[in-house]
Structure 1
Amino acid sequence: MTRRVVILNTDIDAVVCSIERSQTLPADLEMADLEIYASYQRLLENEDLSTPLAAILALTEMMERSNAGTMFELLNELKGGAEALSRQSSNPIGLNAGCELFIEFITLFPHDAATFSDLKTELIQQGRQYAEQALTYRTKIAELAFDFIKDDSVILTHSYSRVVLQTLLMAHKRKRISVFVTEARPRGMGIKTAEKLTAVGIPCTVVLDSAVAYAIEKVDFVLMGSEAVVESGGLVNAVGSNQIAIIAKAANKPFYALAESYKFHRMFPLSQYDLPSHNPRLLSFPQSLNSTRRSSFGRRASESASTPIKITQEDIAQNNPDVDYTRPDLISLVFSDVGSLTPEGVSQYLVGMFAG
């Protein structure tokens, strides 16, 4: 695909006017931010839509509502919408991948439209068609991963992943499999996976997150979903994925990641603390504890004991991350709708995808 950045009606005065207009309408921009976030939340109610696809469709709806008169204005609005979604999400990694892909697609889209209005109509149609087609990617990935699942396989998976679930359901129709599912705290999404697998007759056991090393010897391989696959070939997924990968590597068990190509993300974290979902609040020590200790100095032991400190599961969840980063050297293969890739292959694919 040739790289084409199309700006219709591009005389200097029009560009200057569009910038001035955007600077003088902050209220409208705030309303647009609210509208796109409301669209995104509504789209996420559809069980089949993952966060990147919901973000792509939310941007498509934003484009449909847009009064932009040039491609320059439209791209600015879409980038503003993507930033608004990112700001309002505690874990923006998946939606950032979708927004990044969609904006790049808009920028490079080849067309023969005679007017900007025709071009915008075509872009809206293409955005919806892509989302519809992307819903078939899980089936492609399941078919690809199916060949790696042998009869009587014992599989370990983590948390809840639509593509992993579809792969396991497909394997169950033709092979005998058993599945260990981690509890996946703090959200406990592994229980949802276990319930769905058990409902169709797949032998399934929920494993404590802290018992993965205990269970790993019984496992043939790990099958892991993803929130994003980054430029290094590493994986961003529900917290606990990294420690499972480390344990699998130590036990010499294959670690397979499943990821739709719209989850490939141009991000290069070097550690857990490079993820955009990380903030200083996570794993922090409560400041009030020191003041409590100071104020209780000199009290009788009975007085201190009368006000015991209670730590709730909600407190623990708020002080812990939702996702973590798994290094590429811990991953055996990434199964995607574009093929089975090594982590290095993912990196090469991303370079090609965004090079035009």
Structure 2
Amino acid sequence: MTTGTSTTAADEIPLVLQDLKKHLQSSHGDDDNLFDKSATAMPVAAIKALLGVVERSQATTMMEMQNELKQASDCMMNAATTSTDGRSHSIAVRSGCELFLKYVTRTFLEELPDFEQCRQAVLTRGERFAGISLAARDRIADLASDFIQEGQTVLTHGWSRVVASILLQAASTKHFDIVILEGRPDAAGARAAQFYSQRAKIPTTVVLDSAMGYIMDTVDIVLVGAEGVVENGGIVNKMGTNALATCAQANGKPFYVAAESYKFARLYPLLQRDIPNVGNIPMQFCDTTTNTTKEKETSFAPVDLSSDKVKVENPPCDYTPPKFITLLFTDLGVLTPSAVSDELIRLYQ
């Protein structure tokens, strides 16, 4: 039997992980191009990888098929948790896999004449669902761009293609400024700033993450993406988002979140430690940045914290409770945090 977690003789990488990587790189997707609309989101890539499992499957019963899909899902989620690229993917993969597994169960329950017809229905509808999901960013941009007004200053955080879609669409008809946090440790914000300023020609300012409070009274709105949207309407996103949302509320600034509905996850965290394991990436706590002044040039060497006496904790993301979120811009519409649970019920019923 050929399952989704079978390996090739050449490299012994599970087939489902090979498919996942292929879909993330397909359709000319470029992870280093913030404005690449063809880039496939992680949950959509996970759904397509599971469709590959269905295509290869030699299962003859619903139970066998579901077991194969469950094994493949677990394999992808484990790989996402242990990723060493400095980013968190586990919640995104989890939401895509759970949504697809529920979708398969719903299809099986339709009592189609035989198992093969049911399998073909899963493939056909799954491809259609993946295609619709790819258009989610454009639908969100249509809804959210009106919330950015002429002459405003927008504060954002991290590397988010759905946020980029909103800002690009708004910039086509309005003039506004962007302030973006540097986004340590991977400098996601600084990299995004290059795209906004050089390619989109939007006036952009980069500030240190720790300067969010200092800059907050100069901005009009805060707009961020999300790694996942949880059941209570809160979000899991790049580290620092929780502090940013807290700061925005304290200063009376609206805090908006842009997220596709396939990022809705059946999680209900109450504390930071309640979110699933999202990894702990080793890091150095100083840059080798050169600080040049008129008087002297100072080089800040990295600090070695490899001693057993020092514990280094560097999770890539944190949890932001719904009480700090003003609105969520999704392909299902503009939602309040309290409306997320209703949408999750509809998605998974």
Which 10-residue stretch deviates more, 140-149 or 229-238?
140-149
One-letter code aligned to 1:187: D
Q: Work out whether 1:132 is the aligned partner of 2:161.
A: no
Distance 1:345 1:263, change over 3 A: same
One-letter code aligned to 1:330: F
Aligned partner of 1:61 among 49, 52, 65: 52
More helix by share: 1
- Three-state SS of the structure 1 residue aligned to 2:7 is helix
Deviations 1:264-323 (A, max 9, x none): 1110111111111256x6899xxxxxxxxxxxxxxxxxxxxxxx994279xx99730111
Distance apart, 1:29 and its partner CA: 5.0
Q: Is the 8 A contact 1:186 1:317 kept in 2?
A: no
Deviations 1:144-180 (A, max 9, x none): 1122111111000101101000000000000111101
Partner of 1:74: 65
Q: Which runs of 5+ in 1 are unaligned?
A: 1-21, 285-307
How does the TM-score come out when normalised to structure 2?
0.81
- Three-state SS of the structure 2 residue aligned to 1:141 is helix
One-letter code aligned to 1:311: D
- The residue correspondences of 1:101-120 to structure 2 (distance < 5 A) are 101-109=99-107, 111=110, 113-120=112-119
Distance apart, 1:226 and its partner CA: 0.6
**Aligned equivalents of 1:29, 1:104: Cα separation in 2:** 20
Distance 1:273 1:129, change over 3 A: same
**Aligned equivalents of 1:34, 1:339: Cα separation in 2:** 37
Q: Work out whether 1:311 is the aligned partner of 2:309.
A: no
- Three-state SS of the structure 1 residue aligned to 2:147 is coil
- The residue correspondences of 1:115-264 to structure 2 (distance < 5 A) are 115-198=114-197, 199-264=199-264
Distance 1:318 1:65, change over 3 A: farther
Distance apart, 1:192 and its partner CA: 2.5
Structure number, greater radius of gyration:
1
- Three-state SS of the structure 1 residue aligned to 2:217 is helix
Q: Which runs of 5+ in 2 are unaligned?
A: 31-38, 82-87, 284-300
**Aligned equivalents of 1:102, 1:309: Cα separation in 2:** 44
**Aligned equivalents of 1:123, 1:101: Cα separation in 2:** 13
Distance 1:134 1:220, change over 3 A: same
Partner of 1:336: 330
One-letter code aligned to 1:56: I
The alignment of Structure 1 onto Structure 2 pairs a total of residues equal to 305
Deviations 1:5-47 (A, max 9, x none): xxxxxxxxxxxxxxxxx9xx9x995539811112112222234
One-letter code aligned to 2:318: D
Distance 1:224 1:107, change over 3 A: same
Distance 1:181 1:116, change over 3 A: same
- Three-state SS of the structure 2 residue aligned to 1:311 is coil
Q: Is the 8 A contact 2:239 2:318 kept in 1?
A: yes
Which 10-residue stretch deviates more, 143-152 or 111-120?
111-120
**Aligned equivalents of 1:258, 1:277: Cα separation in 2:** 23
Q: Work out whether 1:98 is the aligned partner of 2:96.
A: yes
Distance apart, 1:87 and its partner CA: 1.2
Q: RMSD of aligned C-alpha atoms?
A: 2.6
